Amino acid sequence: MIEASSAWAIRCHYRPGGAEERLAIRLEHIEYMIAALPFTIFGGAILSGDGAPLGMEVIVRLADREAAQAFIDREPYSRGGLFATVVIEQVRAMTPPYDGGPLYQQLEIERSRRR
């Protein structure tokens, strides 16, 4: 039986001026995120209604909250002091890039409860 994978959602919002200051270290940030691809489920920019950058969100598959904290602590924007807030929450990854296994597992669990 395939288990649904636990992961860590890391949501970061820039402090005032942080969005502009990120440009000076953007290359380092991109290189860091590329190196993290083997354990990244999702990542992207958080944008305002008019498309202005507000922060970033990344969902990573790591051993525990401490590893997620260490990951974001080493991230260049974080090291540069660009974030006003960083929130780390555990999530259960249920949809792509997985093959659907976790969803089918949960479907079977729910079906067995109704039998």
Quick: pLDDT tens for 36-83. 988 989 888 999 999 999 999 999 999 999 999 999 999 999 999 999
Give the CATH number, domain containing residue 56.
Answer: 3.30.70.1060
How many domains does the chain divide into?
1
Does position 2 have pLDDT exceeding 70, yes or no?
no
0.85 exceeded by the pTM? no
Name the residue range of residue 48's domain.
5-114
* DSSP letter (8 states) at residue 81: T
Please tell me the predicted confidence (pLDDT) of residue 110: 73
Residue 26, pLDDT > 80, answer yes
Query: Which residues are CB-contacts of 46 (< 8 A; sequence separation ≥ 6)?
Result: 11, 12, 13, 53, 54, 55, 56, 57
Sheet architecture: strand order including 5-14: 40-47, 53-60, 5-14, 83-93
**Residues whose CB is less than 8 angstroms from the CB of residue 35 and which lie 6 or more positions away in sequence, other chains included:** none
- Tokens linked to 114: 């109704």
| Local confidence band at 98 (pLDDT 50, 70, 90 cut-offs) | low
